Amino acid sequence: MQATNYSSYKAYTTAKTQQGLQVIPEDLFNALVVQDKLHKQFKADMQEFVALDENKEKDGSINWSFVDADMYPKWSVLLEGKEYTALFDEIADIIEPNMEFAV
């Protein structure tokens, strides 16, 4: 199980110690938890904007430029440009194959 799936650092260290495994430092655990929450929120925001009719083409496909325009004001403050772009592309690659277009 990934470290971020544990409810706390103590739960993580207890489980790993019982398995005879080493653990990561608490500050790294906390940083991973923050990063995981950030990624989940980014994906949730993106899914919200993808669902808007105004961000779809007539055939039902996603207008990614419009989704980007909705996402960028909030997330450009929280993420550096390359990190924002990489995360946007990663999540788009997850979302798009699951969309059904009304052709």
> How does pLDDT run across 23-36, given as a tens digit for each residue?
999 999 999 999 99
Neighbouring C-beta atoms of residue 97, cutoff 10 Å:
7
Please report the pLDDT score of residue 102 as a whole number: 45
Please report the pLDDT score of residue 96 as a whole number: 84
N residues, the chain: 103
DSSP string, 17-43: HHTT-----HHHHHHHHHHHHHHHHHH
Please report the pLDDT score of residue 99 as a whole number: 67
Terminal alpha carbon distance of the chain: 41
CA distances from 37 to 26, 33, 43, 50, 102 (A): 17, 6, 10, 20, 33
Separation of alpha carbons 21 and 19, rounded Å: 5
Residue ranges for the chain with pLDDT beneath 50: 101-103
**Global confidence as pTM:** 0.81
